[in-house]
Amino acid sequence: MNLNKKYIKENIKTIIYALLIAIFIRSFFFQPFYIPSSSMEPNLLVGDRLFVTKYTYGYSKHSFPFSPNLFNGRIIFNKPERGDVVVFKTPTDNRTDYIKRLIGLPGDTIQFINGEIYLNDNQILKTKINTSNKIYCGNMILETRTYEEKLPNGVIYRTVYHKNNSFQNSDKFKVPENHYFFLGDNRDCSKDSRYLGSVGYVNKDNLVGKARIIFFSSDYREGSIFMFWKWKKTLRLNRFLKIIK
């Protein structure tokens, strides 16, 4: 074998090994995700890149690239907790990744009454911390109020509501067995479990992992990350290595 052929062969082997290691890490430990929408503002912004831990809730076919039918159900299952920020496959196509906050567990009831959330007939504590704020909804800017919500297990996080509170009232949502109910933190700009025809209740097998840390963030509205002369405006350095709550 001449040197050129040996060089090519060794490089191909190196690439294959690197791909196998990357697939192994991505499937069993950590997977990077990019935030493409404003449905989780103010906690997650468009342009945030984050790591999701795959082992937190155990493994299903959706833990692996392209969701192969390797086995049914979920193995080494650990129950998610209220308030977790979770990546899951949408039930409508079992392919699209969504990221939302877990509010309802199996057997729970959730209802909106006059813009307030009731979990198992008890109102979720909501404290106003900002009476006027501007939050994106796609390319639009909404005038919102910012609140801190506290779940029964003590988890506290920030949410925003449009000043007109467009989602005022609903019927009771009854979470089925082995399913979960998710909401976006940007309440009036989120397609989530309230919309049964598009997202609805999420089966435990559709859980991909728990969002843990933002490792990189850039504001595409200020320019591309390849435009280094704009990095001062583009890069959100204060969000690098930020723990997700």
- Beta strand 85-89 with 207-217 is antiparallel
Catalytic residue among 37, 38, 39, 63: 39
The arrangement of strands across the sheet holding 122-123 comes to 122-123, 116-119, 109-113, 173-174
Q: Report how far residue 159's alpha carbon sits from residue 151's, in angstroms, rounded to the nearest whole number.
A: 12
Q: Is 190 a catalytic residue?
A: no
DSSP 3-state of 3: helix
Q: Determine whether 102 is exposed, middle or buried from the number of CB atoms within 10 Å of its CB (0-12, 13-18, 19+).
A: buried
Q: Which has the closest alpha carbon to 180: 75, 244, 58, 90?
A: 90
**Contact partners, residue 240, CB within 8 Å, separation at least 6:** 214, 215, 216, 217
**Residues 51 and 213: beta-carbon distance below 8 Å:** yes
CB atoms within 10 A of CB 162: 18
The yes-or-no answer on residue 170 being catalytic is no
Residues 236 and 139: their CA atoms lie apart, in Å, by 19
Q: Active site residue: 54, 61, 100, 204, which one? A: 100
Q: How far is CA 71 from CA 179, 181, 244, in A?
A: 19, 25, 31
Indicate which residues carry an active-site annotation. 39, 100
